[in-house]
Chain A
């Protein structure tokens, strides 16, 4: 038998398919296969330019520190150094990726102007004639740090007195709908179901650590001045206009002055959406008038590049003796690191996904996007879903054991079917979980009793299963009401949010799933890490940066100091309420400046 086998199981859903198609369904050879297998497909780094310059960032060795001084005098005198980019060189040095769809608050600088919030955060960038010269000059930059207390665990970040990671988010959480510390899902009444006498309760805690996308080709971009006052940028991006729009915004350029070329990418897996390279490379080309390459080495890719973030999930199920799950409650923490990037989106995607592909009449979820002093998290294959699927499917096996049911049969028994109401209040259609369970079990020789082998996604759904149950809501985590329960012990830093004043619900259950209330963590001793930035040293005041071209833009206003409440420059439009016609106007760099 072959090592791997693949079979098409055409007998399933055959009546729903049009089998008269000519090109669809054919194992057609890839259009680009010849270039790939002969090694001739051009990647971004295959574009050659005379006089190419190389850019390397000076990075934070601390989890959280204020920048007292940056001394680049020695670095600037080193051979081959052409220019050092400072935060003030970035025309609009504050962004959040999803501002492209009008979601969230600008919370991340391209180069940190006054405070670093994770190990590896860039504070300035050296541009030099060779990569070696750039590395050596970056190592010669002296930064005088004032180390601040940090927090690395998301539940500790929510505890009273925890250090504020990012002043844009004073409660260390992304604020949903301008109202809550988290995204809620409420469907039915889980507490009432947990209190039933005929159910067994099953609880679990699940943790996924950060994972690297690990593309063969590390992230990078090459930018060069083009004719007619434009800039071309060859990039490894997964999202050409995402990167173009982000660059246009950060550099205050109209999209018409940018020409982005991508295409052949050596693996992405979600790690090439963040658009960190294109803006610095284009800025370098603007300020030097020469082609500039900015690419990560493997260590940066692994420890500075955003990983699939850690997630922690708490689950509690109520299951009847015949194996039906009648209630499921989630509390989830996405560790998004120091800046939002895309984690706020993943939280809503994960919440929409609950309770997994099962029909459960009572579901509740509280999903948090938590800021900590670590490398920002970002997308990766299965973004928002992989971690909670691990939790759900490990939990299903515990439920099966508690109910004395076979794991496959438990899934088929509880699987969603066409016509069922899902917890986000949309009717399930086009479902196929049951058939997948049956076929996988059959292939593996895992016995399933006849009534389960005969089940179908097309039958026995809907009806009572299509109803939206009477739902109990609450205001736990309400931001406006937070002061009532905010401890007085944390006057300087705004306290992390806690459940608001007790909701009028008959049986408050926050004792089990309320935010954990812990003593604030002692600030651990900061630990120097790999990035080649010398520790704090007495240094002369920084010299003024080398003269910029006349077009050099004014420095961005500094970010508010830690501890100050967030004051939006303009009124923040809530959550996902996206202004229709203007949703993508920032592609032209004209919005949110």
Chain B
């Protein structure tokens, strides 16, 4: 009886936004007289950081510090329509709507500044630190706060903007399935290491190494939390979770977390992540949406790793000890397939490049 090491691989891409488009989102941006900006949305922040990402996008576009922007959302009386927070559409759709609204507001702010400085607005630029100045002449300057105050109390301008983003809806051909599903895709590949106990069928995920291409990491810490948490969910889907353990039989459905199992802190594996950025041509500053796709490669990679470890293909999720043990017995014993890369290496190649993050420990929680 032994614990067999194994490793599996999987690669995926993921469509960003609602399939076939036709899912608009809107944003409104306005400034207070002192140059502090409010972004009004109806989009929902589920904890993924939608408010923070749209805040950074608004600040970048307006050309003001992020501290000068606040995002107010999720009140149908004040926020314009948004389709919702799903289908990896928050960053892409709402982000683009915020850019459109912020560009309009920025244009008014620069017009107001130009009038105060008696220059052409096209000759002005923002420094991202609360200042507006003439290109090439930093001393001819006005603060964003002064410009917004002058706009509202001297010039009678509203420093505000409206934005909407819509991918026009696509039809689907009944005969061939021809369609325009989405405008961009995120990508990922992942190697998972496991150990499989051939006596108990127990599966332990021991390590994950991954590469995720997210378009643009608009906020790298928010990307990190998505990827770490999402890979945990992928592990959980692979080997723990279902509401119908004997599907399609409806019996024995769990009704609480004593029976609906998920990996606990002791089950979580170290995860070493590389983030690649290939900006989406129509993404907000190239951003795609890392949230949904990050779990997907883990499920098949775990199944492939179990085969590598003991020679049993589990094609039905979740991969329970019972299924593994039945497979091993049907094969007349474990049949290790040979671990790619040889026996477990002492050090992890490429690890010296990785940033050490003592604070980024296990992230086992949902929601």
A residues less than 8 Å from B273 (CB atoms): 4-7
Contact mask A167-187 → B, CB, 8 Å, 1/0?
Answer: 000000000110110011111
Known: A24-B218, A443-B350. A430 touches B185 (CB 8 A): yes
Interface residue? B332 (CB, 8 A)? no
Cβ contact of B244, chosen from A1, A210, A382, cutoff 8 A: A210
Q: Which residue of A lies closest to B64 (CB)?
A: A23
Contact mask A73-89 → B, CB, 8 Å, 1/0?
Answer: 00000000000000000
Q: Which residue of A lies closest to B367 (CB)?
A: A267
Known: A5-B354, A263-B73. A446 touches B191 (CB 8 A): yes
Instruction: Report the separation of the CA atoms of residues A437 and B10 in the bound assembly, to the nearest whole angstrom.
Output: 8
Instruction: Report the separation of the CA atoms of residues A457 and B28 in the bound assembly, to the nearest whole angstrom.
Output: 38
Q: Are B360's CB and A381's CB within 8 A?
A: no
Q: Are A471's CB and B176's CB within 8 A?
A: yes
A-B CB contact pairs (8 Å), 10 listed: A6-B357, A7-B354, A23-B65, A31-B71, A152-B249, A187-B177, A210-B243, A396-B10, A438-B211, A444-B209
- Write the nearest CB–CB distance from B333 to chain A, whole angstroms: 19
Known: A183-B172, A262-B44, A407-B340. A206 touches B81 (CB 8 A): no
- Write the nearest CB–CB distance from A155 to chain B, whole angstroms: 9
Cβ contact of B275, chosen from A8, A269, A374, cutoff 8 A: A8
Q: Are B248's CB and A153's CB within 8 A?
A: yes
Q: Which residue of A lies closest to B126 (CB)?
A: A22
Q: Are B272's CB and A443's CB within 8 A?
A: yes
Instruction: Report the separation of the CA atoms of residues A579 and B174 in the bound assembly, to the nearest whole angstrom.
Output: 18
Q: Which residue of B lies closest to A239 (CB)?
A: B84
Instruction: Report the separation of the CA atoms of residues A434 and B34 in the bound assembly, to the nearest whole angstrom.
Output: 49
Interface residues of B in 218-254 (CB under 8 A from A): 218-222, 224, 227-228, 230, 233, 237, 241-245, 247-251, 253-254
Interface residues of B in 28-64 (CB under 8 A from A): 42-47, 49, 51-52, 55-57, 59-60
Q: Are B317's CB and A576's CB within 8 A?
A: no
Instruction: Report the separation of the CA atoms of residues A8 and B181 in the bound assembly, to the nearest whole angstrom.
Output: 29
Known: A397-B307, A443-B348. A206 touches B315 (CB 8 A): yes
Q: Are A185's CB and B237's CB within 8 A?
A: no
- Write the nearest CB–CB distance from A185 to chain B, whole angstroms: 4
Q: Are B313's CB and A433's CB within 8 A?
A: no
Cβ contact of A382, chosen from B7, B189, B272, B295, cutoff 8 A: B295
Instruction: Report the separation of the CA atoms of residues A208 and B87 in the bound assembly, to the nearest whole angstrom.
Output: 20
Q: Are B66's CB and A386's CB within 8 A?
A: no
- Write the nearest CB–CB distance from A28 to chain B, whole angstroms: 6
- Write the nearest CB–CB distance from A287 to chain B, whole angstroms: 22
Known: A393-B304, A432-B213, A446-B7. A265 touches B56 (CB 8 A): no
B residues less than 8 Å from A13 (CB atoms): 276-279
B residues less than 8 Å from A24 (CB atoms): 56-57, 60, 216, 218, 285
Q: Are A299's CB and B256's CB within 8 A?
A: yes
A residues less than 8 Å from B70 (CB atoms): 31
Q: Are B44's CB and A442's CB within 8 A?
A: no
B residues less than 8 Å from A25 (CB atoms): 216-220
Q: Are A576's CB and B250's CB within 8 A?
A: no
Contact mask A568-593 → B, CB, 8 Å, 1/0?
Answer: 00000001111000011001000000
Q: Which residue of B lies closest to A215 (CB)?
A: B367
Contact mask A1-27 → B, CB, 8 Å, 1/0?
Answer: 111111111101100111001111111
- Write the nearest CB–CB distance from A429 to chain B, whole angstroms: 8
Interface residues of chain B: helix, strand, loop or mixed (majority): loop
B residues less than 8 Å from A345 (CB atoms): 18-19
- Write the nearest CB–CB distance from A331 to chain B, whole angstroms: 14
Q: Are A241's CB and B83's CB within 8 A?
A: yes
A residues less than 8 Å from B353 (CB atoms): 7
- List the 7 closest pairs (A to B, CB-CB), nearest first: A267-B367, A239-B84, A393-B300, A263-B74, A185-B177, A352-B181, A439-B211
Task: From A418-426, A459-467, A493-501, A533-541, give the one contacting chain B.
Answer: A418-426
Q: Are B44's CB and A237's CB within 8 A?
A: yes
Instruction: Report the separation of the CA atoms of residues A279 and B230 in the bound assembly, to the nearest whole angstrom.
Output: 32
Interface residue? A290 (CB, 8 A)? no
Interface residue? A348 (CB, 8 A)? yes
Task: From A124-132, A302-310, A319-327, A553-561, give the one contacting chain B.
Answer: A302-310
Instruction: Report the separation of the CA atoms of residues A425 and B278 in the bound assembly, to the nearest whole angstrom.
Output: 23
Q: Which residue of B lies closest to A437 (CB)?
A: B189
Q: Are A6's CB and B46's CB within 8 A?
A: no
Q: Are B83's CB and A242's CB within 8 A?
A: yes
**Contacts A352-B181, A443-B272 known; 11 new A-B pairs at CB < 8 A:** A22-B59, A25-B220, A28-B66, A209-B247, A215-B366, A238-B46, A303-B255, A386-B296, A430-B278, A444-B341, A444-B348
Interface residue? A259 (CB, 8 A)? yes
Interface residue? A473 (CB, 8 A)? yes
Contact mask A440-455 → B, CB, 8 Å, 1/0?
Answer: 1111111100000000
Instruction: Report the separation of the CA atoms of residues A23 and B62 in the bound assembly, to the nearest whole angstrom.
Output: 11
Instruction: Report the separation of the CA atoms of residues A210 and B251 in the bound assembly, to the nearest whole angstrom.
Output: 13
Q: Are B189's CB and A436's CB within 8 A?
A: yes
Interface residue? A266 (CB, 8 A)? yes
Instruction: Report the separation of the CA atoms of residues A5 and B10 in the bound assembly, to the nearest whole angstrom.
Output: 20
Cβ contact of A30, chosen from B51, B76, B243, cutoff 8 A: B51
Instruction: Report the separation of the CA atoms of residues A565 and B258 in the bound assembly, to the nearest whole angstrom.
Output: 44
Interface residues of B in 146-188 (CB under 8 A from A): 169-172, 174-182, 184-185, 187-188
Instruction: Report the separation of the CA atoms of residues A459 and B207 in the bound assembly, to the nearest whole angstrom.
Output: 32
B residues less than 8 Å from A443 (CB atoms): 191, 209-211, 272, 274, 348-351
- Write the nearest CB–CB distance from A45 to chain B, whole angstroms: 14
Q: Are B180's CB and A426's CB within 8 A?
A: yes
Instruction: Report the separation of the CA atoms of residues A385 and B45 in the bound assembly, to the nearest whole angstrom.
Output: 23
Contact mask B343-367 → A, CB, 8 Å, 1/0?
Answer: 0010011110111111011110111
Q: Which residue of B lies closest to A527 (CB)?
A: B251
Q: Are A240's CB and B178's CB within 8 A?
A: no
- Write the nearest CB–CB distance from B63 to chain A, whole angstroms: 8
Known: A263-B74, A267-B47, A397-B304. A436 touches B243 (CB 8 A): no
Q: Are A258's CB and B255's CB within 8 A?
A: no
Q: Are B272's CB and A210's CB within 8 A?
A: no
Interface residue? A522 (CB, 8 A)? no
A residues less than 8 Å from B79 (CB atoms): 240
Interface residue? B292 (CB, 8 A)? yes
Interface residues of A in 80-106 (CB under 8 A from B): 101
Interface residue? B196 (CB, 8 A)? no
- Write the nearest CB–CB distance from A494 to chain B, whole angstroms: 21
